[in-house]
Structure 1
């Protein structure tokens, strides 16, 4: 290390120039200008790197800056050697410059394929024109797609409107058909083979189905109605004070047309037997309708629909039923066909089960089925329509 700074035995480079003033000035002036330029260039490169952190190959650019900087240092030391013979130190700097130069050259050769793929300005302009053309085509395609989507949407809206109109027309036709069937059972038609109560019940059941269908079709967007609305639409017209006599409670559950018809038919079958009582007795009737849901064994949901009725009388607050004087039981004029309808036919149509419970002080009807059956029960009913019709015909009075 000391050898780098022991230069007394060497002669200054100015002696080789015979200390000619003009030659010394030419030599030192040229090196000074080169040193100034070689110092400015790396500074400019460093400023560019700091302002453009997104540039690629920053390592190669840094090697170039280091290489140029060391070259400038060698020219500065060349000026010093004119008067001071610091040849060992200058040689060390030249060695470092050579190492950096060779490294830069090696990296540069490795990057030749990369640089060769850099497009020229003409290619840049061509690519820009191609991009502009592509963007114009994409914009045109987007406009065409928007127009097609709008056209398809309008067509779909028209189809939905037509379908809604057709559905309403079908419902109206079914109402008319039900009215015709109901009119056939009115006085003036030869129905001597049927008892009067049967004809009255028949008309009530037909009207119950019509009310259920119209309740569902009132919802134009979903064609489904809540259980509470189905029950109230069926029961309220049968009582003088429905707000005080009918209580409904349960989660909001929506059912389709077939499910609404079965619930409406069951509600009419239960309420009509109470509405046929004398008016004074009828006003004491209280009906509590509740429904709950729970998970079933197959992973779905099951609904339990429970009809609980009592006769309030003087003990309305305690919900005690008024027993019949002769039997000691609650009056329960539930015909055999009505009970079969509630416990067999209606549950069979929706794939569930029905149960009637009687006691000295209570009357409860329970209907259980899956939630999907109330919404899609038309498929179940279609598969079993023939057997149900035969069962209903067998149970009907002659």
Structure 2
């Protein structure tokens, strides 16, 4: 492996070295003797193997032991500053993956470069439940990211009211099955994506379980039935497959995810927060419990417009990308992330406690320890 420095810039301020590789942030490194700056300079100007780097450093200054160099390189790689120049990625020849590779470069490491992260996306299979307001927006992002295989489920037909926020569909699609039009859109956008359309209602966990063979992640955006989230959760957690859920309630966008065997599942959330009908534990303050009970009496109306559907769809797609690539840990695993569209998009994250008595989570933990995918 020939180790080099990603495109970075730095300057000294006393004993501190300020390094910028990601234009949105800087890293302050303590460098009283200039050894860090010397290493960065060698990595930038003379990439090489660890032995070659150590020889170059010894030729230009004090000798560095193998252990010291390993420790320094590990620290810099942890800050996502290093790359294997022997596996350089030519983004200009990457075609439709150019922007994806440029994004992944920020998170690439010596272990997995940007091409590796893109390949993880290409090798993935996502089951998407619903191709409506949330689903149609998530789908466009997943297709743009290059997800290799998609299974889409929906049972609705395109209606005029959909056209305000579901931009996969056109006037000519009115009265036709959404899921078939969505699959047609994917094929036209990228013929390299293997897409399957399934037209059905979900009436229980078995309707989801039957579609999970080979699936790496489930994205859910369907609201049919009061227990739909319980059913999706049961199917996914038993199979050890992560799932992401998004939607809108009132003026708030909301999404969460479940990482079986690692985070609390949806049943843990119900145990902690209640079922929306006044059944809640002491996790929530009394005022919140009252608000939850009263809100269940208000008729449900889908208030998502184009911007809100696009925003929550993008956030769900980012959470999906975290699971598919590991570029960073899932942000919403065992937690609700809420954005208030009436307050400039103010965001907060509210984790729910894992129920130690949850039978589903116990089964997922056993499956994970036995090597089941999740």
Larger radius of gyration: 1
| TM-score, length basis structure 2 | 0.22
| TM-score, length basis structure 1 | 0.21
The structure with the largest helix share of the pair is: 1
The structure with the largest strand share of the pair is: 2
